[in-house]
């Protein structure tokens, strides 16, 4: 009987709450980075659409999201596809677009921490130095930036602002600490006019 | 200082890493040693407009060529480095 | 009778008559037609060069031309630290020469620049850093320079208020150079200016060099905003503006100009008695005789002639400060400023001839020019007078980059912003 | 919170015994509530809304501090952040806050304030005797003396000077409070909430802009609260309150009170400090004391108002001498009268208004000394209105009262002097626009002769000045200018000009005249008699400026540096213009010709803790945790930081008494059986693309094209200057797919380098990189039994035999339970060894599994220390050798440099000095006596050579006790090293005072033939 390796998450699954704000790791998703080879972009777009039924987001700083699948822009000609566990994301992509793009499994490389609750944007503004005003950063917007000292991919998950902080696995605990500290610091008075 | 990344929009300078003069061109292997010394060591270092490499380290990992006034820190233009080297 | 020699007695005498007998610290000279040597740059290095030319080499037909007010460059905007705790053989004798000149400076120039040898302590936080400091300390000792390696408990006895118990990167010890310390920076400029002036050197302020007159590859003088000034030899000591001035002679240098910020707090009753550098972040600090904490960190890291920096570095430096000494949290930063650093490609300076005959270069001091001021002046004067490098500055040649004989203390390579 | 007086009862405030100088309710005071605070231990009462200064004045306290040099008794000069005199220590213990300005400190119940820079008490300060030495203590006297004998400076003079240095005392303990940072964005930032600022914010918001309005004060309104301006028949402050309320209701307006915009940086960045909890006794749990804001603004309107100038005359520093505008602020906003009998000294009409305010507050105004000759009609009218004597063309020639003003000497226009008893002298030398933020980009201000002040004539793009900051002299003008600039700024930031709806501006009832006639040196030389202070805190007097002029310190920067003018905590806000006017007069030049210094950030002093923010103590830098972290901690490891990674350093057992014993055991276990170590921290970069091999060829010195799939190779990278940069192994997983490893320290730098090579040098190459460092838990399993252990883990279909999977093999594998992973046959220890990589989530379980299945073999987890010992034993260079100063030749890898291709660093590596055979080159060292410790950092000298630099031939880079060799061993660099194997040299460690002898050996101590590796 072989030994069974049981997976281990870097952050406990229970959400942390401060007032009405909550911070919790998102369930583990399959993640694959897709990086288009030279002159392969049109073919890649088509192949991804065909394989996943979703298109690569058309512009930088955005994500396509549908039915549990999301594809985030993470750099020029580079995307991060995320799907629930058991979707066979890598296999599907390999078959459809292995020739058009470098595909790299990032399932274990990244952890998603979700911050939600009233004034989540005011808490996020303590962490990331980007403009979160709906005019600049709305539903499914994506930004690669840094939360304090920690590089993150930030995505707005809900219209009532909720944010996914996608972080390198090894830094998840430090980021969790920092977000929690920001939550405990309270909502700035000037946000609550 | 804020730099307009062509992909990520305008971001604070703390997201970027600097690497000097972007007008220097890597010589061919058989170029005379003087050309290599020039490339690796000598700089115009102008007081005024300066084309320089910046890397969006905390963002999209693009190398950029930023034209900036070294006296005022005013930024005139930003292009991706690959765009510039391919031009 | 006027008081020209400074002494306790002259101060007392002047106190009795309302301080009315003092003469100007230096004459406001107007340019003559020509000089034996024209030094471009009225900062610490230029003024020291003029002083040693006159004093040690007997060359007194010397002018120092300064584009704005005397001491407006880095001599007037540094963090006042002096030390000779270098690693590499090309550097140690030079900086030790400088340290010895500091030790006798005040009697030499009759000006109290408040040379305070209160010690410079470089902290280390891991084995790798300890080993590197051991190597450096031993190099210093082999060169006859004082150095001590302190363990964590010795550091704690000396500076009990550092963060020893709650630190991200605990302090393991430090390399102490007790003879290092601080010097009142402006006084160095004024003292050298006054001493050089008394030896006949013309100090010409508000006189910007706008061109070089070069005939057949030989420099004949400088064009300035106050007219042409002829010179048998021209020496450039322009720090952050070196590339600009060298360009007037058609030269490109292995130098980038960068901004380095420095900071001072409100005055406090003294509690930091030495210079401390943090090994796990960008932060160093000392406390001035007025009580202000004087501190700094890394350069901003991009080419700049703006003499001012940006906020990320302020935050980074203060973060380092809090990590090292968390009791300074409620102490207030009073002023920040920026200087132009002539960052060379290997982090070490250049004192050498240039391809233009009779044109000499003193540049590439990075952020360490202040401590070098006396030796830089002496060695540059030696080079100008004798046309050969001073024995302690033989490594500072311009052709070392082509030869590969770089003097790279930090091992960062040809990336000035990383030195 | 911001509507304080609305809740006030209509009757005038109490005038009880405890606050004898409180005359009425002020527009910013909640008189219905009383709070208590202490000053130098004395319990006093105040009201919410008070500053410490107003509360002290309300209680009749005039003596508040001592000056820096002469320890002169000082009171309260101003009512704002420009205060030079009234500095105190706030709170106690770890929260002690020195040099705090009483004028901007909000009083809260329980506040403890203490005077500073005095001994033993504020009233009787021994160092007050310094005043007697003033003739000696002239500007810069210390440059001229204390030089003899040379050794006395540090030992005698400096300690004395340092004892007198500084003002307040820093806290003795770590700051216990929190700080945090946040970023905010807006189209238009308005700094200051006086009439101009409020009008600007309203107009900009009305035009559709996102607006941030910052006010350093706790209340909006600016001078509208200090003065009694009526706007459309209502008090100005009430209009401010209404406007604030209106603005707060707008969704795109953010109003930040208690927030000082302290600096303007490049690209529309501003630094602002919010005092979140300084006005309460204790912050709420988790709440920061202060919050640093980085504000990014498209446009900025500076409506920062002005700062009043004192007048320079003998003994102008006594407690009770105040700026006229400050007096008005105390009377109107705080309901406090700073004296019972006042004299006004002014050179302008604005200063006169203090007379009316005082008069209406019941203070007797004895005289108005108006330096103008003739005085204005306004002055005449005011004198009549308040019943004061008017001295047109008069001057104040001196004052009396040691710890508080008792009388002034008034000299009339005929030169006759008389004594006037008074306890309050309100002075106005005119106003300086507060343009500090406009000059942070080194914009030089210009002198405006009409205004008699420095202004900014051409502000930077996107920067506007409004109100008095721009020289607008009346409330109406300030409102109109703010309104117009608010709209203009909104448009400048991209708002549609059509959206701006016109708003009606209120009108001021009063015609506010200014009519200033400059007064810099009223008494000429006579005015310099005694001590006529210019910089109050640093005790710079008119005489000091004269001395600076005499000694040639004419340039304003020289003046400042020589006299210390403007270098105190107030940065000369009230002093600078008076000083350079004095210098101009001394030299017979105009103020414009004399010029001014530029102001540097911060506008107001900022706590270092706030600038540092949340990342403190153990959270100074993030912790990167490898996937086996929790297991390793559970296993009792000692952690160490490797950069920001936390790694297991060793795993002590209870019976072990020293770390050395532990490490020895770990090494022996690996060498004799098997051990494992988490090596996830090494950088791992996934490289794919048709040109992947080409790129590797160009970044590594050695050849890559022919590396077969399923194999790994060691590679060395140089920098372009020819020195070694990084090393590691790269494995070919498929035709166009590689995984590169880098050192832990350089992972980020290598990624940046690869991207540079690709994007800047060879953008045509079809290759893609992404970091997979975190995706894989990579564990080294090393030792002669490592294959046996892996056989228990790896699916049995995979052939682990040496023949099938030899040294430098690389393969995708499945573990027995189906988890997919990668297996590399790499060895850092020199033993038969593997690195097994599994998806990071299984790293923890893999460690536990290895412990279980390896138990029969005595498997031992080992940490970075044993790893280091074994790599030294095997002679692998690491960080201490790859220190950026060494070449491939130095590292003994010269032969790796390919001659068949271009690669980064090839050309420069051929320079003469880099090929010099005398360069120190990698060697091994063994002491003649095995127990003689070789210390990294020791230097290598020929045996018998003098211990000096001339004999120095190298150094030790890494050393360890080798339990395998049972001796100390070391790696080092030695001149002509490889030719000197066998030579005995002296290892000098002067820092420790030791010299030992060691033999130079090849840098491999264990298994030089590599038979274990290939087993």
Average pLDDT over residues A86-111: 96
Average pLDDT over residues D125-140: 87
Q: How many CA atoms lie within 13 A of D545 on its CB side?
A: 34
* Of residues D369, D398, D318, D414, the one with CA closest to residue D519: D369
Residues of C in contact with B38 (CB under 8 A): 252
Q: pLDDT grade, residue D13 (50/70/90)? A: very low
Asked if B62 has any chain A CB less than 8 Å from its own CB, the reply is yes
Could you tell me if residue B77 is inside a domain? yes
Q: Check C402 against B12: CB less than 8 A apart.
A: no
Q: pLDDT grade, residue B51 (50/70/90)? A: very high
Tell whether the model's pLDDT for residue A134 goes beyond 70: yes
Distance (Å, whole) CA D94 – CA D88: 16
Q: Check D770 against A35: CB less than 8 A apart.
A: yes
Tell whether the model's pLDDT for residue A1 goes beyond 50: no
D887-923 pLDDT, tens digit each: 999 999 999 999 999 999 999 999 999 999 999 999 9
Residue appearing with tokens 């008074």: D422
Asked if B30 has any chain D CB less than 8 Å from its own CB, the reply is no
Q: Which residue is closest to C71 within chain D, CA to CA?
A: D558
From A147's Cα to the closest Cα of chain B, the distance in A is 10
**pLDDT given for residue D17 in this prediction:** 67
Distance (Å, whole) CA C209 – CA C235: 12
Domain ranges of chain D: 5-145, 178-306+433-499, 309-430+513-545+572-594, 624-681+773-885, 689-765+886-911, 917-1015
Mean of per-residue pLDDT scores for chain A: 95
Nearest neighbour of A150 by CB, restricted to D284, D622, D849: D622
Phi and psi angles of residue B80, each rounded to the nearest 5 degrees, phi first: -75, 150
What residues are paired with C351 via a beta bridge?
C362
Q: Check B15 against A146: CB less than 8 A apart.
A: yes
Q: Which residues of D lie inside 8 Å of B (Cβ-Cβ)? A: 265-269, 294, 296, 441, 720-721, 748, 751-752, 755-756, 759-761, 763-764, 902, 906-908, 910-911
CATH architecture of D178-306+433-499: 3-Layer(bba) Sandwich (3.50)
Q: Which residue is closest to B36 within chain C, CA to CA?
A: C402
Q: Check D775 against A18: CB less than 8 A apart.
A: no
Q: pLDDT grade, residue D295 (50/70/90)? A: very high
**pLDDT given for residue C1 in this prediction:** 46
Report the neighbours of C using a cutoff of 3 or more CB pairs below 8 angstroms: B, D
Say which DSSP state D856 is in.
Answer: G
Asked if A66 has any chain B CB less than 8 Å from its own CB, the reply is no
Q: Which residue is closest to D912 within chain B, CA to CA?
A: B33
Asked if A138 has any chain B CB less than 8 Å from its own CB, the reply is no
Q: Which CATH class is domain D5-145?
A: alpha beta
Q: Which residue is closest to B59 within chain A, CA to CA?
A: A144
Q: Which CATH class is domain D917-1015?
A: mainly beta
Q: Check B73 against C306: CB less than 8 A apart.
A: yes
Report the neighbours of D using a cutoff of 3 or more CB pairs below 8 angstroms: A, B, C
Could you tell me if residue B38 is inside a domain? no
Mean of per-residue pLDDT scores for chain D: 95
Tell which of B45, B50, B58 to mutate to test the C interface (max C CBs under 10 Å): B45
**pLDDT given for residue C40 in this prediction:** 98
Q: Which residue is closest to D440 within chain C, CA to CA?
A: C308
DSSP-assigned letters across all residues of D648-687: EEE---TT--SHHHHHHHHHHHHHHS-EEEE-TTSEEEEE
User: Pick the residue with more confidence: D127 or D238?
Assistant: D238
Distance (Å, whole) CA A34 – CA A31: 10
Tell which of C241, C303, C316 to mutate to test the B interface (max B CBs under 10 Å): C303
Q: Check C11 against D883: CB less than 8 A apart.
A: no
Residue-number span of the structural domain to which B14 is assigned: 2-24+47-86
Q: What's the pTM value of the predicted model, to 2 decimals?
A: 0.97
- CATH topology for D689-765+886-911? Alpha-Beta Plaits (3.30.70)
Could you tell me if residue B32 is inside a domain? no
**pLDDT given for residue D450 in this prediction:** 93
Q: Counting one residue from A and one from D, how many pairs have CB atoms under 8 Å apart?
A: 172
Residues of C in contact with D97 (CB under 8 A): 330
Q: What is the CA radius of gyration of chain B?
A: 14
Distance (Å, whole) CA B87 – CA D577: 55
What residues are paired with A155 via a beta bridge?
A142, A164
Q: Check C330 against D96: CB less than 8 A apart.
A: yes
Q: Which residues of C lie inside 8 Å of B (Cβ-Cβ)? A: 241, 243-244, 247, 252-257, 301-306, 310, 312, 345, 401-402, 414-417
D915-966 pLDDT, tens digit each: 999 999 999 999 999 999 999 999 999 999 999 999 999 999 999 999 999 9
* Of residues A30, A21, A57, the one with CA closest to residue A162: A21
Q: How far is CA C301 from the centre of its chain?
A: 19
Task: Tell me the C-alpha to C-alpha distance, in Å, between residue C101 and each of C96, C385, D43.
Answer: 9, 19, 57
Residue D472 burial (CB count, 10 A) = 22
- Domains in chain A with CATH codes: 16-26+109-185 (3.30.1360.120), 29-105 (3.30.70.1520)
Q: pLDDT grade, residue D7 (50/70/90)? A: very low
Q: Counting one residue from A and one from B, how many pairs have CB atoms under 8 Å apart?
A: 37
Distance (Å, whole) CA D873 – CA B41: 38
Tell whether the model's pLDDT for residue A3 goes beyond 60: no
D642-682 pLDDT, tens digit each: 999 999 999 999 999 999 999 999 999 999 999 999 999 99
Asked if B19 has any chain C CB less than 8 Å from its own CB, the reply is yes
Report the neighbours of B using a cutoff of 3 or more CB pairs below 8 angstroms: A, C, D
Residues of C in contact with D95 (CB under 8 A): 330
**pLDDT given for residue D918 in this prediction:** 95
* Of residues B83, A173, A144, the one with CA closest to residue D770: A144
Average pLDDT over residues D361-388: 96
Domains D5-145 and D917-1015 share a fold: no
Residues of D in contact with C43 (CB under 8 A): none
D760-770 pLDDT, tens digit each: 999 999 999 99
From C93's Cα to the closest Cα of chain B, the distance in A is 25
From B8's Cα to the closest Cα of chain A, the distance in A is 7
* Of residues D217, D177, D180, D213, the one with CA closest to residue D291: D180
Could you tell me if residue B14 is inside a domain? yes
Sign of CA dihedral D817, D821, D826, D830: negative
Cβ pair C155, C174 in contact under 8 A: yes
Q: Check A171 against D622: CB less than 8 A apart.
A: yes
Tally of structural domains, chain B: 1
Tell whether the model's pLDDT for residue D3 goes beyond 60: no
- Domains in chain C with CATH codes: 27-84+86-111+185-253+346-418 (3.50.50.60), 120-181+257-344 (3.30.9.10)
Residues of C in contact with B54 (CB under 8 A): 302
Q: Check C402 against B33: CB less than 8 A apart.
A: yes
Q: Which stretches within C255-399 are classed as H helix?
A: 311-324, 369-386
Distance (Å, whole) CA D956 – CA D974: 9
Q: Which residue is closest to B7 within chain A, CA to CA?
A: A60
Average pLDDT over residues D219-230: 96
**pLDDT given for residue D155 in this prediction:** 85
Could you tell me if residue B19 is inside a domain? yes
Tokens of B85: 């080297």
Q: How many CA atoms lie within 13 A of C85 on its CB side?
A: 28
Distance (Å, whole) CA D199 – CA C171: 54
Distance (Å, whole) CA D761 – CA D428: 65
- CATH topology for D624-681+773-885? Gyrase A; domain 2 (3.30.1360)
Distance (Å, whole) CA D899 – CA D889: 14
- CATH topology for D309-430+513-545+572-594? FAD/NAD(P)-binding domain (3.50.50)
Asked if B15 has any chain A CB less than 8 Å from its own CB, the reply is yes
Residues of C in contact with D543 (CB under 8 A): 18-19
- Regions in chain C scoring below 70 on pLDDT: 1-3
Residue C206 burial (CB count, 10 A) = 16
| Cβ under 8 Å to C: B residues 51-70 | 52, 54, 68, 70
Question: What CATH code is carried by the domain that includes residue B58?
Answer: 3.30.2270.10
Q: Check C138 against D991: CB less than 8 A apart.
A: yes
Q: Check C417 against B18: CB less than 8 A apart.
A: yes
Residues of C in contact with B43 (CB under 8 A): 243, 252-256
Tell whether the model's pLDDT for residue B36 goes beyond 70: yes
Q: Which of D119-128, D217-226, D421-430 has the lowest mean pLDDT?
A: D119-128
Asked if B86 has any chain D CB less than 8 Å from its own CB, the reply is yes
Report the neighbours of A using a cutoff of 3 or more CB pairs below 8 angstroms: B, D
Residues of A in contact with D844 (CB under 8 A): 8
* Of residues D733, D737, D725, D854, the one with CA closest to residue D784: D854
Residue B48 burial (CB count, 10 A) = 12
Task: Tell me the C-alpha to C-alpha distance, in Å, between residue D16 and each of D22, D36, D744.
Answer: 8, 14, 71
Distance (Å, whole) CA A87 – CA A51: 12
């Amino acid at each position: 009987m072989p030994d069974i390796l049981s997976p281990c998450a870097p952050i406990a699954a229970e959400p942390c709450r401060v007032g009405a704000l909550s911070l919790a790791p998102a369930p583990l998703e399959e993640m694959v980075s897709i990086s288009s080879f030279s002159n392969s972009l049109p073919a890649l777009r088509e192949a991804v659409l065909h394989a996943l039924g979703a298109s690569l987001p058309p512009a930088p700083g955005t994500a396509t999201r549908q039915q549990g699948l999301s594809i985030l822009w993470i750099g020029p000609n580079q995307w991060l596809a995320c799907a629930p566990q058991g979707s066979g994301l890598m296999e599907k992509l390999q078959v459809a677009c292995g020739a058009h793009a470098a595909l790299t499994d990032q399932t274990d490389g990244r952890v998603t921490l979700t911050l939600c609750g009233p004034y989540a944007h005011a808490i996020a503004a303590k962490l990331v130095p980007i403009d979160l005003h709906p005019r600049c950063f709305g539903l499914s917007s994506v930004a690669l930036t840094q939360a304090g000292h920690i590089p993150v991919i930030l995505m707005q998950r809900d219209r009532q602002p909720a944010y996914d902080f996608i972080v390198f696995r090894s830094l998840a605990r430090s980021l969790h600490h920092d977000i929690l500290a920001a939550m405990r610091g309270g909502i700035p008075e000037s946000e609550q006019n | 200082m804020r730099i307009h990344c062509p992909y990520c929009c305008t971001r604070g300078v703390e997201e970027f890493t600097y690497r000097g003069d972007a007008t220097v061109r890597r010589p061919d292997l058989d170029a005379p040693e003087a050309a290599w010394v020039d490339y690796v060591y000598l700089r115009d270092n102008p007081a005024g407009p300066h084309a320089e490499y910046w890397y969006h380290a905390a963002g999209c990992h693009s190398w950029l060529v930023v034209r900036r006034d070294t006296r005022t820190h005013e930024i005139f233009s930003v292009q991706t480095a690959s765009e510039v080297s391919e031009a | 009778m006027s008081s020209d020699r400074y002494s306790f007695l002259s101060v007392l005498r002047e106190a009795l008559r309302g301080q009315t007998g003092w003469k100007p610290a230096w004459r406001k000279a107007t340019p003559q037609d020509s000089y034996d040597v024209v030094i471009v740059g009225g900062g610490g290095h230029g003024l020291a060069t003029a002083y040693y030319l006159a004093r040690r080499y007997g060359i007194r037909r010397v002018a120092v031309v300064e584009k704005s007010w005397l001491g407006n460059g880095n001599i007037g905007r540094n963090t006042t630290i002096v030390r000779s705790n270098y690693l590499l053989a090309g550097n140690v004798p030079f900086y030790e020469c400088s340290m010895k000149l500091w030790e006798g400076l005040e009697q030499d120039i009759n000006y109290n620049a408040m040379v305070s040898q209160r010690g410079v302590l470089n902290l280390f936080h891991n084995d790798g850093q300890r080993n590197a400091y051991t190597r450096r300390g031993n190099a210093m000792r082999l060169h006859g320079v004082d150095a001590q390696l302190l363990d964590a408990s010795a550091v704690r006895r000396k500076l009990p208020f550092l963060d020893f118990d709650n630190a991200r990167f605990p302090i393991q010890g430090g390399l102490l150079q007790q003879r290092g310390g601080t010097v009142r920076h402006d006084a160095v400029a004024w003292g050298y200016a006054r001493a050089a002036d008394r030896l006949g050197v013309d100090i010409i302020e508000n006189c910007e060099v706008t061109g070089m007159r070069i005939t057949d590859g030989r420099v004949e003088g400088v064009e300035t905003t106050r007219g042409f000034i002829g010179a048998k030899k021209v020496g450039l000591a322009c720090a952050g503006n070196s590339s600009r001035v060298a360009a007037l002679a058609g030269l490109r240098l292995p130098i980038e100009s960068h901004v380095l910020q420095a900071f001072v707090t409100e005055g406090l009753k003294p509690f930091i008695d030495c210079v401390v550098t943090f090994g796990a972040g960008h932060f160093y600090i000392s406390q001035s005789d007025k009580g202000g904490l004087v501190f700094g960190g890394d350069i901003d890291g991009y080419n700049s002639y703006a003499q001012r920096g940006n906020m990320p570095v302020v935050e980074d430096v203060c973060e380092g400060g809090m990590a090292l000494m968390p009791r300074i949290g409620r102490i207030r930063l009073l002023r920040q400023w920026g200087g132009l650093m002539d960052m060379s490609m290997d982090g070490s300076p250049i004192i050498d001839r240039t391809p233009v005959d009779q044109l000499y270069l003193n540049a590439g001091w990075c952020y360490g020019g202040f401590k070098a001021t006396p030796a830089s002046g002496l060695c540059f004067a030696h080079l100008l007078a004798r046309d050969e490098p001073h024995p302690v500055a033989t490594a500072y040649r311009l052709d070392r980059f082509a030869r590969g004989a770089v003097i790279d203390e930090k091992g960062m390579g040809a990336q000035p912003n990383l030195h | 919170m911001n509507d304080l007086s609305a809740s006030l009862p209509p009757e005038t405030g109490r005038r009880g015994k405890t606050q004898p100088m409180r005359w009425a309710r002020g527009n910013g005071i909640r008189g219905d509530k009383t709070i208590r605070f202490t000053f130098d231990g004395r319990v006093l009462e105040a009201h919410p809304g008070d500053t410490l200064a107003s509360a002290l004045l309300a209680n009749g306290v005039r003596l508040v501090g001592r000056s820096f040099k002469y320890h002169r008794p000082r009171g309260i000069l101003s009512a704002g952040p420009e205060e030079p005199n009234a500095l105190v220590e706030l709170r106690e213990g770890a929260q002690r806050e020195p040099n705090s300005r009483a004028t901007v400190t909000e009083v809260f119940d329980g506040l403890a304030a203490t005077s500073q820079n005095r001994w033993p008490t504020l009233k009787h300060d021994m160092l007050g005797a310094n005043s007697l030495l003033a003739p000696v203590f002239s500007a810069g006297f210390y440059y001229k003396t204390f030089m003899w004998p040379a050794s006395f400076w540090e030992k005698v003079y400096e300690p004395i000077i340092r004892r007198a240095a500084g003002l307040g005392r820093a806290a003795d303990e770590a700051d216990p409070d929190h700080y945090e940072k946040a970023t905010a964005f807006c189209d238009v930032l308005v700094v200051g909430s006086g009439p101009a600022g409020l009008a600007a914010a309203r107009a900009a918001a009305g035009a559709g802009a996102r607006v941030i309005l910052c006010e350093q004060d706790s209340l909006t309104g600016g001078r509208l609260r200090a003065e009694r301006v009526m706007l459309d028949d209502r008090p100005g402050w009430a209009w401010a309150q209404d406007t604030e309320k209106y603005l707060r209701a707008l969704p795109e307006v953010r109003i930040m009170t208690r927030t000082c915009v302290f600096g303007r940086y490049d690209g529309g960045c501003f630094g602002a400090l919010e005092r979140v909890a300084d006005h309460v006794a204790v912050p709420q749990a988790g709440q920061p004391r202060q919050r640093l804001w980085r504000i990014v603004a498209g446009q900025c309107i500076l409506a920062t108002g002005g700062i009043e100038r004192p007048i320079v005359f003998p003994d102008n520093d006594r407690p009770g001498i105040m700026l006229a505008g400050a007096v008005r602020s105390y009377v109107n906003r705080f309901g406090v009268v700073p004296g019972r009998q006042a004299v006004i000294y002014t050179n302008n009409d604005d200063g006169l208004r203090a007379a009316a305010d005082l008069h209406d507050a019941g203070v007797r105004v004895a005289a108005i000394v108006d330096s103008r000759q003739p005085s204005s009609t306004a002055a005449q009218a005011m004198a009549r209105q308040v019943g004061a004597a008017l001295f047109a063309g008069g001057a104040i020639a001196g004052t009396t009262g040691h710890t508080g003003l008792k009388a002034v000497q008034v000299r009339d226009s005929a030169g006759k002097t008389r004594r006037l008893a008074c306890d309050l002298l309100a002075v106005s030398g005119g106003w300086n626009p507060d343009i500090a933020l406009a000059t942070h980009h080194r914009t030089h201000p210009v002198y405006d002769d009409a205004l008699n002040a420095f202004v900014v004539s051409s502000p930077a793009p996107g920067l506007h000045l409004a109100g008095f900051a721009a020289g607008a002299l009346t409330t109406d003008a300030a409102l109109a200018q703010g309104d117009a600039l608010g709209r203009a700024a909104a448009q400048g930031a991209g708002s549609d000009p059509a959206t701006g709806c016109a708003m009606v501006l209120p009108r001021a009832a009063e015609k506010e005249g200014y009519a200033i006639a400059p007064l810099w040196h009223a008494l000429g030389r006579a005015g310099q008699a005694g001590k006529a202070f210019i910089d109050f805190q640093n005790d710079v007097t008119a005489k000091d400026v004269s001395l600076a002029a005499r000694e040639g310190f004419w340039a304003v920067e020289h003046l400042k540096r020589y006299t210390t003018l403007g270098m105190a905590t107030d940065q000369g806000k009230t002093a600078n213009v008076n000083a350079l006017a004095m210098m101009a007069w001394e030299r017979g030049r105009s103020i414009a010709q004399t010029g001014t210094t530029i102001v540097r950030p911060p506008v107001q002093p900022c706590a270092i803790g706030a600038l540092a923010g949340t990342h403190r103590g153990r959270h100074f830098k993030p912790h990167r945790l490898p996937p086996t972290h929790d297991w390793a901690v559970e296993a009792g490891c000692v952690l160490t930081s490797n950069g920001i990674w936390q790694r297991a350093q060793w795993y002590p057992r209870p019976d072990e008494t020293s770390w050395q014993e532990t490490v020895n055991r770990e090494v022996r276990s690996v060498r004799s059986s098997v051990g494992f170590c988490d090596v996830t921290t090494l950088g791992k970069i996934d490289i794919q693309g048709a040109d992947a091999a080409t790129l590797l060829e160009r970044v590594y010195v050695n050849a890559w094209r022919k590396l077969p799939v399923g194999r790994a190779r060691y590679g060395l990278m140089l920098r372009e200057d020819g020195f070694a940069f990084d090393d590691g192994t790269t494995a070919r997983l498929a035709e166009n797919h590689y995984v590169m490893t880098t050192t832990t320290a350089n992972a980020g730098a290598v990624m940046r380098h690869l991207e540079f090579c690709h994007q800047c040098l060879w953008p045509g190459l079809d290759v893609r990189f992404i970091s997979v460092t975190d995706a894989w838990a990579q564990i080294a399993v090393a030792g002669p039994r490592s294959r046996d252990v892996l056989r228990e883990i790896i699916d049995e279909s995979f052939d682990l035999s040496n023949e099938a999977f030899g040294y430098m093999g690389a393969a995708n594998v499945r573990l027995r339970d189906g988890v997919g992973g990668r297996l590399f046959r790499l060895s850092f220890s020199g033993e038969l060894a593997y690195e097994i990589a599994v998806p990071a989530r299984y790293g923890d379980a893999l460690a536990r599994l290895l412990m279980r299945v390896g138990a029969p073999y005595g498997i031992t987890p080992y940490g970075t220390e044993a790893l280091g010992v074994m790599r030294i034993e095997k002679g692998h260079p690491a960080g201490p050798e790859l220190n950026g100063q060494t070449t491939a030749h130095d590292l003994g890898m010269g032969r790796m440099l390919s001659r068949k291709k271009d690669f980064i660093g090839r050309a420069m590596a051929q320079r003469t000095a880099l090929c010099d055979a005398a360069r120190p080159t990698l060697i091994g060292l063994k002491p003649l006596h095995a127990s003689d410790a070789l210390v990294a950092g020791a230097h290598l000298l020929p045996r018998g050579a003098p211990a000096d630099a001339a004999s120095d031939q190298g150094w030790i880079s890494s050393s360890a006790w080798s339990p395998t060799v049972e001796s100390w061993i070391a790696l080092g660099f030695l001149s002509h090293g490889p030719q000197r194997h066998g030579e005995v040299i002296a290892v000098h460690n002067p820092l420790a005072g030791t010299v030992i002898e060691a033999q130079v050996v090849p840098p491999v101590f264990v298994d030089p033939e590599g038979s274990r590796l290939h087993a």
